[in-house]
Amino acid sequence: MDVFSNLNWIVKKGENWALGGVSGSGKTALAKAIIGDLDVAGSVETNFDLTSSLRPETLYVESWYQFKNVEGVANFYYQQRYTSQQAKETLTVNAELAHFGKEKSLNLSDTKSLINALGFAELSNSQLIELSSGEHKKLQLVKALWLQPQLLIIDQPYTGLDAASRKNLNRLLDNAAEKGTTLILISNDEELPSCVNRYAAIANGKLKILDSAPSSDFAEADLQRELPKFLKQAPVYQSEQIAKMVNVNISYGNKKVLKNINWEVKAGEKWLLQGHNGSGKSTLLSLINGDHPQSYANELYLFGKKRGSGESIWDIKQHIGLISPEFHWYFDSNATVWESVASGLYDSVGLFARLPYSKAKQVDETVEYFGLTDCKNERLANLPLGKQRLVLLARTVIKNPELLILDEPCQGLDKAQTEYFNHLVSELSQHGMTIIYVGHFEAQLPKCLSKKLVLSHGEVIKNENIIKEDKAKDSTVTVQF
C-alpha cells in the first residue's frame, strides 16, 4: 500500500512549518523519509548552509521516547517504573544528557537555561523509567534544542505537556527559529509558536498547502454507532466506596512525591485529575491501580477493602479499566488488534486463552464500535500511533469495569478523534461507570466530569465540584481513523 502519491514539498530557509492531517495519513512516514529512515520512490534532498554556526544536520524528535536500561535493553514492564529507585536499572536524566553531550560534543552547562525554562531541574537525578510521558517529552526537547540543528522536525511536540510548559516551549522554539533553525512541527494543535509561517496537511497521500494551522477539517467518516448492549448495563459494584486515601505519603529517598493526600472516590462519580507535569498524578493513580509497592505502608482502601488485607494485584485490576501513555509504552505491540482488545478481559498484555463464544462476540462488538474491524488481524506495531491508542482505549472498556482510569487517553489522537472519544466517555458515564480522567486542557475534556482534584508538588490544592455552564446538546462528531 502506497503511503504517498506523487507528493512534492519544498521547504525553504526562513520557513517554519506546521504539518497536520488525520491519524495514519502519513505525517510520521514523511518525517522518516526526510531523515532517510524510510525508502521512497523519488528523491529527498537536504541542502545545508555550510557557513551557518548551526549544525549541518537534521534532527527528528519522535512522538515518544524509546529509552533503554543500562545494559542497552528496552524490555521493561509497567509496574517496574515504581520500583526502579531501588533497581537502578536505567540512567538518570543527568547521565542521559551527559551521554548525549559527549556523543555530540556539546557543553553540558548549555542545558541549564533549557532545563529551567521547561521546569525540568528537579528531575536531574531521576531515572528515565520514573519519568512520566510529559517529562520524557521535555527530555527529548532539551536535547533537540541543545543540539541546534539546521533542520529540526518534532513529532507531536506538545504530547503530555501542561499549559505552562507549552507556552515555554513555544518561546524556546521561537528563539531557535530566530537563530536560524528551520522547524517542521507535526501537530494538529492550534497553539503554535509565532515563528510558524507555513502550514500543510497530508490527505490521501498528497500534501495540501493551507492558509492557517491544521485542524480537524480533514475528518471524513461518520462514526456515530450505537453503544454495544453490554456497555449499556451498569457495572456490578462490590462497594459504594471505590477508593479512599487517608494522609497518604509516597517518597523515594528524600524526594517526596505525594504529601498527606486525602481523597475519596465513590461509585458512579466522574473525576477530573489535574496538575502540572511531575505533580504526582501518575503516582496517585498507581496506588488505585494496585501497582505501587508503597501502598501497603499507607492507609488506603480500594473497592471497600483496606489495601494489604489479603487481596492480590489481580483482585484489584479486575475492577479497573486503565489507559495511560506509560501503559502504552510497555504493551505488547506484537499482538493483533483483536487480541489486544480481548486481553482487557483478563488484564493481560496479550491473549493467552481461547475465548468462549459470548466473550468473543463482546470483543467483536467493541472492535466494530471503535471502527477497527478492517484492521482487527493486524499487529498493533503496524498501526499508526493514533490508531494504536484507539485499540488500547477499546481494551479499557471491554469488561465494563467499575472504574475507568483514563490518564491522558487522547495523546496521539487528532482533534476529531479526541472529540469522538470524549463523546464516548460521556455516553459510558450515563450507565453508572466511575471515571477518573487526567487531562490538561478544558476544551479537550468530556462533558460528564463533575468533580475535580488538582495536585501541585505532590499536594492537593483543589478538591471541588466542577461548575458547568449550560450548553447545547452534543452535535454529531465526524471522524476518520
| Structural domains of the chain sorted by starting position, each given as residue range(s) with its CATH number in brackets | 17-215 (3.40.50.300), 229-465 (3.40.50.300)
Task: Say what the pLDDT of residue 259 is.
Answer: 96
Pairing of strands 206-210, 434-438: unpaired
What is the greatest pairwise CA distance in the chain? 69
Task: Say what the pLDDT of residue 478 is.
Answer: 31
Q: In which order are the strands placed within the sheet that holds 241-252? A: 255-266, 241-252, 299-302, 305-306
Task: Say what the pLDDT of residue 91 is.
Answer: 82
**311: burial class by Cβ within 10 Å (0-12, 13-18, 19+)?**
middle
DSSP letter, residue 296: G
Q: From its phi and psi, is residue 131 left (phi > 0), alpha (psi between -120 and 50) or beta?
A: beta
Task: Say what the pLDDT of residue 444 is.
Answer: 77
DSSP letter, residue 157: T
Task: Say what the pLDDT of residue 88 is.
Answer: 58
**What is each CA distance from 65 to 213, 304, 329, 445, in whole angstroms?**
26, 38, 9, 25
| Residue with the three cell numbers 487517553 | 409
Which amino acid makes up residue 470? D
| Spans of the chain, pLDDT less than 70 | 1-2, 65-89, 214-224, 349-352, 412, 443, 468-481
**116: burial class by Cβ within 10 Å (0-12, 13-18, 19+)?**
exposed
Task: Say what the pLDDT of residue 389 is.
Answer: 83
Task: Say what the pLDDT of residue 469 is.
Answer: 58
Nearest Cα to Cα of residue 445 among 272, 278, 320: 272
Contact 85, 57 (CB under 8 A): no
Provide CB contacts within 8 A for 187, sequence distance 6+: 18, 19, 20, 154, 156, 157, 158, 214
